[in-house]
Amino acid sequence: MLRNQKQISLAFAAMLAGDFWGGAPRAQAEVYSLIANPAEDCSTQINLGWHADLGDTNAVVVYATKSDTAWAHAITVPGKFQRCDIFDGINSKTPAGADWNEAAKFLDYGVTLRGLHPDTQYMYQVEPAPAGQAGETNGAAAPNESAVHYFKTAGATEFSFVWISDIHAYTPLPNRVKNANAVLAAAIQLDPRVDFVFATGDVVAWGGSYSFWKYLFAQPFAKNYLFADVIGNHDWMRRTNGGSSDYFRIAHHNPTNGYAGQEGVCYWFIYGDVLFLTFNNELMRTGPAAEAAAKTWAAGVIEKQKGKYQKIFIAEHYHWFDGQNGRANWYSHWKDFCDKYNVTLALSGHDHIYLRTHPLRNDQVAADGHGTIYLTAPSSDGERGLEAGKLTTNSNKLAFTYSSHEHSNKSEVKTIGCVLVHVSPHAITTKLVYLDENRSVQVADEHVTNLDEK
């Protein structure tokens, strides 16, 4: 479909070049897994990534402010790509549930948009390169244009994000993604100002199964929002025989500001007055040296970026506390770091139970603004939840837990939740949003932390 004047002229140029009538018809191919990810400074830069068939070497991204409805001031940026076949032949499942080896060889495209206006909504689209542009060679296949996607840059004094986790997108069971979509939509309706979507991992059932990523990034959140994600064990794993962090790296186009070997997997970005740091548990779980490397990197970023942020949020996949009994889990590994660097929020997933602590410092409850609040997002797939239980340990530190109590099977419950986070210079508001057993939207544990308490 021709979008506008600019595109009509592109089509006309292509026609003159013999690409339409009279010339060999171009192969029709696809652009897929198009996603906006953070860049280091989200007020002026955003990363875009997408994938295209192997012959589609000409793709460009066209972007404009959303208010420029005619795309009159649209800017075209050529895509950079490398061939990717790490997903090809992986043992997986079809949507019908049959065993199959994934067929997934593609070009992994990425661009960093720079010089963006702060606090501005943008639209973007991937399309064939304009005639005459480098790479426009006779006979090369041109990808079909993508749908129009959107993101919003940072820069407002206050901002919000929806934080979701543990979707376990799995094509044979589409209700998982439907449930996650439903609770995301409910949260966005509650706070239409939402600037981006944040995830603490396990967004797909098997990271090695490319068709699951493609399916996830065909959902409305990927089209409408900037998406910042943290690698989980499921994102790392193959159906059989271990896993690789490369699946997560290729599925996204994250900043490559992680430490050696973790570029595009662990990363940091600044959105508003918050420095976000994300970690790779699949590496850190290998031992103290791997954990120390992550902390050294994070400490270096915190030091080097000083002055550019007011608050620090850290995020990893594995939960800080066990929501079934309150036992400390990764909290024990990170509490000294969070104390030392005055981390405001520590975000995790994996437990499938929502959990919020009071502000903690020196392993004790602290006043607002004087400690780190540790949170675990609930699961969102309506299927693999764990049931929140009686807190027998750390009950003084833990403020709230939630899960569904409706069972999907003997050991799991039907939790469908996410968390709305609103950040202002002086306060952080978090609220749990969930769908109850009647699929009615519920809000719970709305909590305001006043950061100015001295």
- In the numeric block, which tokens belong to residue 250? 């290729």
Q: Which residue in 314, 252, 315, 207 sits closest to 39, CA to CA?
A: 252
* Contact track, Fe ion, 177-206, x by CB under 5 A: -------------------------x----
Q: Among residues 110 and 232, whose Cβ is nearest to Fe ion?
A: 232
- 329 makes contact with Fe ion (CB under 5 A): no
**Rounded to the nearest whole angstrom, what is the least distance from the CB of residue 34 to Fe ion in the complex?**
26
Out of 252, 253, 335, 350, the residue judged to bind Fe ion by CB under 5 A: 350
Closest approach, Cβ 317 to Fe ion, in A, equals: 6
CA-to-CA distance for 319 and 75, rounded, in angstroms? 42
Query: Which is closer to Fe ion, CB of 202 or CB of 383?
Result: 202
Q: Pick between residue 232 and residue 382 the one whose CB is nearest to Fe ion.
A: 232
Look at the block and give the residue holding tokens 């997108």. 169
Please state the φ and ψ torsions of residue 59, each to the nearest 5 degrees: -65, 140
String of contacts with Fe ion for each residue 110-149, x by CB under 5 A: ----------------------------------------
- Interface residue with Fe ion, options 49, 79, 232, 255 (CB under 5 A): 232
Out of 233, 256, 325, 342, the only residue in the binding site for Fe ion (CB under 5 A) is 233
**Is 366 exposed, middle or buried, given 0-12, 13-18 or 19+ CB atoms closer than 10 A?**
middle
Q: Which two tokens stand for residue 102?
A: 């994934």
Residue 419 Cβ vs Fe ion, minimum distance, rounded to whole Å: 17
With CB under 5 A, what is the number of residues at the site for Fe ion? 4
Cβ closer to Fe ion: 319 or 358?
A: 319
- The DSSP element (H or E) to which 347 belongs, if any, is strand 345-348
DSSP line for 349-391: -SSSSEEEEPPEETTEE--TTSSBEEEEPPP-SSSSBPPP---
Residue 7 CA to residue 3 CA, distance in Å, equals: 6
CB of 202 to Fe ion, least distance (A): 4
Please say which residue, 128 or 349, places its beta carbon nearer to Fe ion. Answer: 349
Query: Contact 279/314 with Cβ under 8 angstroms?
Result: yes
For Fe ion, the closer of residues 350 and 422 by Cβ is: 350
Q: Per-residue string for binding with Fe ion, 144-183, x by CB under 5 A?
A: ----------------------------------------
For Fe ion, the closer of residues 317 and 358 by Cβ is 317
Give the CA angle between residues 109, 110, 114 to the nearest 5°. 155
Only segment of 107-115, 231-239, 288-296, 423-431 that touches Fe ion (CB under 5 A): 231-239
**CB of 319 vs Fe ion, minimal distance in Å:** 9
Distance of alpha carbon 141 from alpha carbon 189, whole angstroms: 41
Q: Quote the CA–CA distance of 207 and 215 in Å, as a whole number.
A: 12
Q: How many angstroms from the chain centroid is the CA of residue 308?
A: 23
Task: Supply the minimum distance, in Å, between the C-beta of residue 136 and Fe ion.
Answer: 44
Residue type at 381 in one-letter notation: D
Residue span binding Fe ion (CB under 5 A) among the ranges 14-22, 182-190, 343-351, 390-398:
343-351
Nearer to Fe ion by C-beta: 122 or 330?
330
Q: Kindly give, in sequence order, each residue whose CB lies less than 8 Å from that of residue 289, ignoring residues fewer than 6 positions away.
A: none
242 in Cβ contact with 207 (< 8 Å): no
Residues that bind Fe ion (CB under 5 A): 202, 232-233, 350
